[in-house]
């Protein structure tokens, strides 16, 4: 019978103390609240508020923090040691996933940005189970078989671990008679109950296996030699009583970098163990030469654009090749528009990539526009084939870019680019306005998507099959490990979309890579799509 750390009855009786402090640390009267917490408050420019949370060992908090302007939020121990960065740069909302490693007092610190900010905080303690499904061990790695034998013969786990990790992790072994694959083993030490993988090569949060009765955990895969992925390992993920989606996202409470892998990447500039990802690039992985650093590249101009179509305001950033700055107003120039704009300046250093490609004469000088999301919830509403968003792109964004730059743009040299929902939005918007947007660069586009009121899977490919052909050129890419993501899978739905487009007579190219749904991959292959669609022939 399943045992619960907290029953639903007891949960309603639990309370914790919230102390609000000003940045000067003068203490306001403590507020005692019962879970769940649902509080709205306003902070002046650069002002802060601190919530002191008394938590039990293993207690799991879930919630969200929404605001009308960007902010900063962290979770720290009572001694001030930061254990989790909650917010991301430029974001107006944050999801909270936190599990207390030890019993004690923790602080949720929230600081407003450059203007007065209204916040809404929702926070709750989630009931947990103490029992979970234990995976059946599989030993295919020679190194792990030797480690298991050593353990059975009385070898010390410390010595076995030192031997396994002497060259860092993951372990990489060759396969006899096979040149295009390598055996890769991911390792963890110290978890009590379970360890899960977050990211490729699996998309079902593959469990690691315990080595005998030790605290060493492992999982091996035979991977293509051109694999390029980022990943995290999640020890002792909370086992949520509710199950379902809440269980799937609970992995975010403990997912963290692989401590034995020296190759790391901080995609959001967050450098705590939860914000950093570990990376794996096998010997034939795609080159990332387009990412090479330059001493000086063109600066991005930041604007705010209010949309009457959508009823919100968003940041829009514009980058212009240095070679265009001497042109007279009114000249026709290429234009590339990127969705998830902040991500395509941080996780993917697009201005640097564009600068390098122009300098190497691989694409012509151009204007790049980065369209940002007002919030995560707005992204989910706007990007998946929302006609109001397409109208915003045509009726509000494009005139705004013309006005700010002074250039003119033709559909044949105007490109929409994005990944995941951004790839889907690129194709939907181009289909609605082919006279304005004539090229689509889609990285792992979410073509599995369908509207909630439709019972037809892969709605957009089916729609393209039904309507007349439009003057649009496509570059699509997908990861070979994206086989279990969404209704029908990203890889399979991209293959289907490419077939539909080809049968309709579109110019389309689909490339597949040994990668997952991963900015670390997209940043290395974005240049291929840009060269294909904009490059000189």
Contact 28, 22 (CB under 8 A): yes
| Helix, strand or coil, per DSSP, at residue 235 | strand
pLDDT of 32:
43
SS3 239: strand
Angle at 259 between CA 258 and CA 262, to 5 degrees: 90
Greater model confidence, 107 or 365: 365
Specify which residues 456 forms β-bridges with. none
Look up the pTM and report it.
0.86
Show the CA angle centred on residue 21, arms to residues 20 and 22, nearest 5°.
130
pLDDT score of 231 more than 80: yes
User: Tell me: the pLDDT tens digits for 75-99?
Assistant: 988 788 899 999 988 888 899 999 9
| CA atoms in the 13 A half-sphere facing the CB of 32 | 3
What is d(CA 352, CA 291) in angstroms, rounded to the nearest whole number? 7
Q: Which of 119-128, 302-311, 457-466, 472-481 has the lowest mean pLDDT?
A: 119-128
Tell me what percent of the chain is helix, strand and coil, each rounded to the nearest 5.
25, 35, 45
For residues 147 and 153, give the distance between their C-alpha atoms in angstroms, rounded to a whole number: 10
Structure confidence at residue 359 (pLDDT): 94
**Backbone φ/ψ region at 465: left (φ over 0), alpha (ψ -120 to 50), beta:** alpha
**How far is 241 from 258, CA to CA, in rounded Å?**
28
Does residue 16 have a pLDDT over 60?
A: no
Q: What is the mean pLDDT of residues 256-263?
A: 98
Strands (E), 308-371: 312-320, 335-339, 367-371
% of the chain at pLDDT higher than 70: 91
Helix (H, G, I), strand (E, B) or coil at 505: coil
| Residue ranges matching CATH 3.40.50.1820 in the chain | 301-534
Count of C-beta atoms within a 10 Å radius of residue 487: 14
- Relative orientation angle of helices 142-152 and 157-164, to the nearest 10 degrees: 170
Q: Torsion-angle region of residue 294: left (phi > 0), alpha (psi -120 to 50) or beta?
A: beta
Cβ-proximal residues to 440 (8 Å cutoff; 6+ apart), any chain: 415, 416, 417, 423, 426, 427, 430, 472, 473, 474, 475
pLDDT tens for residues 374-387? 999 999 999 999 99
Q: State the Cα–Cα distance between residues 227 and 280, nearest whole angstrom.
A: 7
- Sheet hosting strand 71-77, strand order edge to edge: 48-55, 104-112, 71-77, 82-85
Q: What does the mean pLDDT of the chain come to?
A: 90
Quick check: 25 pLDDT over 80? no
Q: Give the integer Cα–Cα distance in Å for 272 and 284.
A: 30
Which residues are bridge partners to 86 per DSSP?
A: none
Angle between helices 490-504 and 459-466 (to 10 degrees): 0
Between these two residues, 282 and 295, which has the higher pLDDT value?
A: 282
DSSP letter (8 states) at residue 133 = P
**In the structure, what pLDDT confidence band is assigned to residue 6 with cuts at 50, 70 and 90?**
very low
What is the per-residue pLDDT for 269?
A: 82
pLDDT of residue 338: 99
CATH class for the domain made up of 301-534: alpha beta
Question: Which tens digits make up the pLDDT trace of 435-493?
Answer: 999 999 999 999 999 998 888 889 999 999 999 999 999 999 999 999 864 446 899 99
At 132, the pLDDT band (50, 70, 90 cuts) reads low
Least confident range of 99-108, 255-264, 275-284, 352-361: 99-108
Give the CA distances from residue 371 to residues 252, 259, 339, in Å, rounded to whole numbers and listed in that order.
27, 35, 5
- Looking at CATH, the fold of the domain delimited by 8-129 is given as Jelly Rolls (2.60.120)
Specify the pLDDT at position 104: 86
* pLDDT the model gives residue 12: 31
pLDDT for the residue 255: 97
Longest dimension (CA), the chain: 79
| Domain formed by 142-281, architecture | Sandwich (2.60)
Chain centroid offset of residue 493 CA? 20
Ranges of CATH 2.60.40.10 domains, the chain: 142-281
Q: Mind giving me the DSSP string for 251-262?
A: GGGT-B--TT--
């Amino acid at each position: 019978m399943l045992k619960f750390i907290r029953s639903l009855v007891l949960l309603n009786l639990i309370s914790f103390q919230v102390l609000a402090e000003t940045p000067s640390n003068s203490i306001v009267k403590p507020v005692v609240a019962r879970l769940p917490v649902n509080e709205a408050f306003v902070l002046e420019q650069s002002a802060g508020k601190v919530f002191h949370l008394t938590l039990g060992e293993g207690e799991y908090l879930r919630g969200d923090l929404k605001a009308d302007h960007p902010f900063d939020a962290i979770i720290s121990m009572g001694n001030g040691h930061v254990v989790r960065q909650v917010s991301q740069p430029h974001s107006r909302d944050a999801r909270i996933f936190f599990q207390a490693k030890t019993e004690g007092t923790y602080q949720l610190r929230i600081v407003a940005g450059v203007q007065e900010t209204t916040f809404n905080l929702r926070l709750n303690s989630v009931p947990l189970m103490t029992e979970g499904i234990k995976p059946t061990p599989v030993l295919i790695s020679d190194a792990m078989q030797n480690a298991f034998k050593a353990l059975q013969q009385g070898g010390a786990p410390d010595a076995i671990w030192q031997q396994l990790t002497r060259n860092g992790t993951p372990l990489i072994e060759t396969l006899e008679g096979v040149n295009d694959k390598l055996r890769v083993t991911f390792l963890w030490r110290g978890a009590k109950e379970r360890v899960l993988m977050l990211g490729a090569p699996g998309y079902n949060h593959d469990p690691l296996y315990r080595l005998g009765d030790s605290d060493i955990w492992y999982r091996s895969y035979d991977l293509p030699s051109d694999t390029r992925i980022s990943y995290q390992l999640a020890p002792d993920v909370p086992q949520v009583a509710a199950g379902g989606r809440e269980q799937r996202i609970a992995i975010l409470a403990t997912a963290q970098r692989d401590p034995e892998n020296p190759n790391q990447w901080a995609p959001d500039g967050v450098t705590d163990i939860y914000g950093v990802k570990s990376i794996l690039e096998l010997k034939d992985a795609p080159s990332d030469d387009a990412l090479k650093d330059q001493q000086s590249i063109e600066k991005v101009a930041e604007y705010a654009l209010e949309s009457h179509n959508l009823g919100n305001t968003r940041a829009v950033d514009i980058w212009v090749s240095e070679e265009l700055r001497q042109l007279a107003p009114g000249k026709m120039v290429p234009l590339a528009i990127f969705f998830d704009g902040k991500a395509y300046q941080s996780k993917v250093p697009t201005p640097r990539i564009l600068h390098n490609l122009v300098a190497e004469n691989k694409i012509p000088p151009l204007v790049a526009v980065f369209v940002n999301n007002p919030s995560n919830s707005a992204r989910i509403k706007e990007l998946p084939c929302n006609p109001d968003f397409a109208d915003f792109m045509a009726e509000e964004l494009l005139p705004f870019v013309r006005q700010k730059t002074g250039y003119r743009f033709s559909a044949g040299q105007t490109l929409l680019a994005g990944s995941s929902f951004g790839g889907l939005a690129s194709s939907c918007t181009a289909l609605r306005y082919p006279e304005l947007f004539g090229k689509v660069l889609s990285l792992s586009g979410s073509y599995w998507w369908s509207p909630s009121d439709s019972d037809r899977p892969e709605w957009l490919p089916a729609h393209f099959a039904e309507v007349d052909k439009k003057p649009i050129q496509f570059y699509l890419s997908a990861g070979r490990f994206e086989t279990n993501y969404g209704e029908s899978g990203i890889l399979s739905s991209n293959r289907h979309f490419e077939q539909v487009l080809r049968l309709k007579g579109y110019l389309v190219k689909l490339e597949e890579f040994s990668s997952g749904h991963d900015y670390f991959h997209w940043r290395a292959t974005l240049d291929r799509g840009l060269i294909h669609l904009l490059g000189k022939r």
